[in-house]
Chains A and B, each alone.
Chain A
Amino acid sequence: MSSVRLGYGSDRLVSNSQTKKRHSSDEENPSSPLQSRNKKICLEAQKEDIENMDRQKHANFSTMAPNGVRSMGLGKSKGSEKKVLSIKNLKVHQVAAVDHVSESWACLKEAVVAIQESRKLRENLTQEDLYRCVDNLITQRSPAQLYADLRDLTETHIKSQLENFINSSGDRLIFLRQVNDCWTHHCHQMKMVGNIFLALDRGYVLQTAHVSSIWDMGLELFRQHILEEVIVENRCVDGLLMMIEQERGGETIDRSLVKSLLRMLSSLQIYHKVFENKFLMATEQLYSREGQRLMQERDVPQYLQHVEKRLNEENNRILHYLDPSTKRQLIYCVEKQMLNEHKTALLQKGLDQLLDQNRRKDLSLLYSLFSRIKGGLDYLCSQFNAYIKTHGKTIVINPEKDRVMVQELLDFKDKMDGIVSDCFCNSDRFVLALKEAFEHFINQRLNKPAELIAKFVDGKLKAGNKEATEDELERLLDKIMVLFRFIHGKDVFEAFYKKDLSKRLLLGKSASVDAEKSMLSKLKQECGPGFTSKLEGMFKDMELSKDIMLAFKQNLQNMSKNSTLPLELSVNILTMGYWPNYQIMEVEMPSDMVQYQQIFTKFYLGKHSGRKLQWQPTLGHCVLKAAFPNGPKELQVSLFQALVLLLFNTTDVFSLDEITSRTNIEDTLLRRTLQSLACGKARVLIKNPKSKDVNDGDKFIYNKDFSNQLFRIKINQIQMKETSEEQQQTEERVFQDRQYQIDAAIVRIMKMRKIIPHNLLISELFDQLKFPVKPADLKKRIESLIDRDYMERDKDNPNTYNYVA
């Protein structure tokens, strides 16, 4: 301990004499003219002093020379430095020595008292003389005696100081200043005294156990006589706490005073005992009160900002005057009182609002503050997860919002992704929580989200969607795939996607083959080749159909060499099974069309043996040339529309019944067709009586006065549109397929287990099936399989099933 102190002291000497700039943080000494004069003496002496010190150190560790002529001894032991050092010292300072013990002590005492009373030293008494006195006393009397005398001297002085404080009637600030002054003086004095008695410190103190250095002795005495006095201690600590409280209240205080006094407490080693605990308690009370009050008064962002401000302030306090060892406890205390106590309330009150309003700055702050408290991030994360679930559910659950659901989901996902990466440091657990929450809420509503996502993709891949460039479309598809990943019932998506894809392909509405292929490869990547093999088959069919048509045209030309064909036929041959199932219907067509169709069928079956062709009139579409009196037009129409319009070549007026019997188109489809021709934007026919819907007995008249700015007019949009029947059929088909899958899964399990209890069977089924099912549905399938003798109930235990091979 004392050796450390000593090292510290010598460090101080060097810094004072050499740089003067570096001011060690312990004391700032207000120097009166007198003191600075003293200091000058010090400084002059110090250069030699340092050299002396070195030598003495060596001497101390070798044998102590009894005659007191140290430099000689040193000269012998240290050969190389001998000349330079020894000559200088020996010659200059071999002046009148003060030999007598008592005389020496008198000199020293006089010097010490002068320092204590901040007086000038006697003119003819140099620093050099004083060193010699110390040396003399050490060698000729005993160092212990000298030490004791010095201690007495110091003690007396310090005791005398106490009076000032006991009787001080000034207010706290003045009192604190008094203490501080006393302390700085004390330090200053002890330093100078220490300089004079350096030899004592280096020799006696270092070598003797249980004796503290002169500096430490001073501190001990100061503590013992001044600060262990209860009145002083209390007034001092209370004063400090009061000042800090004032500062926390927003006032400016004399920080250097607080700093100096706290350093004093640290130096006296009573910082922890007398100050820290009280300080932490005061802090806790303050912030506990403040936290409760502000939670009531302020909204969450303001509160968080306040907490951040407070934390910064406390950190500053540590930098500026508190002992660094307090840091952990202090910050912990603030965090606990301002954050931990209120974490539930904070998140419940503020998180939803912050997330709703996308207030990223506040959210970042929230994250950084919550990362400070134990379990804070876990809690934040779970609340974040809960928010996504509730908010997401509102997007998904309401059928009235179906039209915008996917776009809203995409936006919501973007927003949450942004928040996680910007505000939550992209932390893994938040990324996971985000995923988990999305997967959870998106499946809250069965099947519909999958259907709507498929339709959304259709909307983006359809021709005429010019809002996005290729890159944008690609990025959008990627985002959609992210949503798709969350969906459990992927079969629903597949069914609707397939239905829409087939329309895009067959009606030539696909915006870009590249985009289609890219989407397909994404699906393949996500769900495996089994999922997309049929979709790929559809694209293959389209390619094959082109080849077949080329061959067919070649064939036709060979058959009718000289004539060109005014009617251009192109047929898409679909492989059954790849494509959605379409209603099979026979319609009446003009004979030339029928013949053309037959020619093709003959050609096709001639090329492929063992096949049969089923024509699908619902998907056919045509281009009609129309010779309106107001100018010729080209109409893009569905096959049904074409069949209806072609009737009007013979007569100008037809009734609904007549049209039905002549075309044989199914009633609802025909009505829809007529509606599109007579009630849509481009009215090629006139309906009588006029109304929005087609009713029994309506008559349809060829519209002679038809006019339109465009030459080509599309009227076949109705084909692209999904009818509610179509939607239902697609859905039902999915459910039908699911039943087969459930049956297959049950039989698979039964075949393996032979005997299995009901509950186990159900839970295994949940594991195997990739789409959401209700236990009631499973029970139905089990019943059905029991009826069909695939399995039976155990006779003794009705809750167990046996496999029937």
Chain B
Amino acid sequence: MSNDIDSTENDGENGIDSQKPEKMFTLKKWNAVAMWSWDVECDTCAICRVQVMDACLRCQGENKQDDCVVIWGECNHSFHNCCMSLWVKQNNRCPLCQQEWSVQRIGI
């Protein structure tokens, strides 16, 4: 079973299992679980004081939780996208480090 993956990965190393032709147990199906979160250094949005995993207060109020994503600046500080877009209208600096704000990436 691993062979297929291995071959696609072009990885020569074989699993231990394959040494034994009569394997007693073979994995047929695997239901795995993973938790995703924003890859941020600080859990809380410094502008609205809500955790970045939750939608900002404005979006919670307008029931737009799904659209409330996170934005990273070049300084690697992160905020709710909506919070930051309001912030930069007044002050084009990162609220945490006062560096000139420039977007590194936006979460999707």
* Contacts from A to B (Cβ < 8 Å): 506, 508, 529, 533, 537, 540, 559-560, 563-577, 579, 582, 590-593, 595-597, 599-601, 604, 607-616, 619-628, 634-635, 639, 642, 645-646, 648-650, 702
Residues of A within 8 A of B108 (CB): 607-610
Judge whether B4 and A576 touch: CB under 8 Å. no
Assembled-state Cα–Cα distance A597/B13 (Å):
17
* Cβ < 8 Å to A, chain B residues 43-84: 51, 53-54, 63, 65-66, 69-70, 72
Do B20 and A650 touch across chains, with their CB atoms under 8 A apart? yes
Chain B: CB-nearest residue to A704: B24
Of the candidates B1, B17, B34, B72, the one whose C-beta lies within 8 Å of that of A610 is B72
In contact, B24 and A648 (Cβ under 8 angstroms): yes
A-B complex: 6 closest residue pairs judged by Cβ atoms? A592-B2, A610-B107, A566-B1, A576-B37, A619-B33, A623-B29
Q: Are A611 and B38 in contact (CB under 8 A)?
A: yes
Given the interface pairs A591-B15, A645-B25, A649-B16, the reply to whether A560 lies near B7 with Cβ below 8 Å is yes
CB distance from B35 to the nearest CB of A (A): 5
- Tell whether B89 is near chain A: CB-to-CB under 8 Å: no
Would A608 and B36 count as touching, CB distance under 8 A? yes
Q: A577-B51, A608-B107, A627-B22 are in contact. Are A572 and B30 (CB under 8 A)?
A: no
Could you say which of B34, B69, B70 has the most chain A C-beta atoms within 10 Å of its C-beta? B34
Instruction: List, in ascending order, chain B residues with CB within 8 A of A616's CB.
Output: 33-35
Taking a contact as CB atoms closer than 8 A, the residue among B22, B25, B36 that contacts A576 in the complex is B36
Q: Which residue of chain B is the closest to A582 with respect to CB atoms?
A: B35
Q: Tell me if B86 is interfacial: C-beta within 8 Å of chain A.
A: no
**A649 to B24, Cβ gap below 8 A?**
yes
Task: Given A623-B28, A646-B27, A649-B25, verify A596-B5 contact (CB < 8 Å).
Answer: yes
Q: With contacts A591-B13, A593-B27, A702-B24 known, is A506 near B33, CB below 8 A?
A: yes
B37 touches A568 (CB 8 A): no
Of A575, A639, A702, the residue contacting B32 (CB under 8 A) is: A639
Report whether A614 and B34 are in contact in the complex, using a CB–CB cutoff of 8 Å.
Answer: yes
Given contacts A570-B30, A577-B53, A628-B24, 6 further A-B contacts (CB under 8 A): A567-B1, A569-B30, A599-B9, A612-B36, A624-B25, A646-B27
| A648 contact set on B, CB distance < 8 A | 24-25
| B106 at interface, CB cutoff 8 A | yes
Check B34 against A567 for contact (C-beta < 8 Å).
no
CB A614 to nearest CB in B, in angstroms, measures 5
In the complex the two chains form, is B39's CB within 8 Å of A612's CB? Answer: yes
List residues of chain A with CB within 8 A of the CB of B25: 624-627, 635, 642, 645-646, 648-649
B15 is contacted by which of A560, A592, A623, A702 (Cβ under 8 Å)? Answer: A592
B26 to A625, Cβ gap below 8 A? yes
Instruction: Report the nearest A residue to B51, measured CB to CB.
Output: A577
B35 & A579 in contact (Cβ 8 Å cutoff): yes
Q: Which of B9, B33, B53 contacts A615 (CB 8 A)?
A: B33
**Are B28 and A625 interface neighbours, CB within 8 A?**
yes
Report how far A591 CA is from B27 CA in the complex, Å: 13
What's the nearest-Cβ distance from chain B to residue A569, in Å? 5
What are 28 A-B interface contacts by the 8 Å CB criterion? Answer: A508-B31, A537-B65, A565-B4, A567-B28, A567-B30, A571-B31, A572-B33, A572-B34, A573-B35, A575-B36, A576-B37, A577-B37, A593-B27, A599-B5, A601-B34, A607-B108, A608-B108, A609-B105, A609-B106, A610-B105, A610-B106, A610-B108, A613-B34, A613-B35, A615-B35, A622-B29, A623-B27, A626-B25
Nearest residue (CB) in A for B54 is A577
**Residue from the list A506, A622, A649 in contact with B17, Cβ < 8 A:** A649
**Contact yes or no, A595 B34, CB < 8 A:** no
B15 touches A590 (CB 8 A): yes
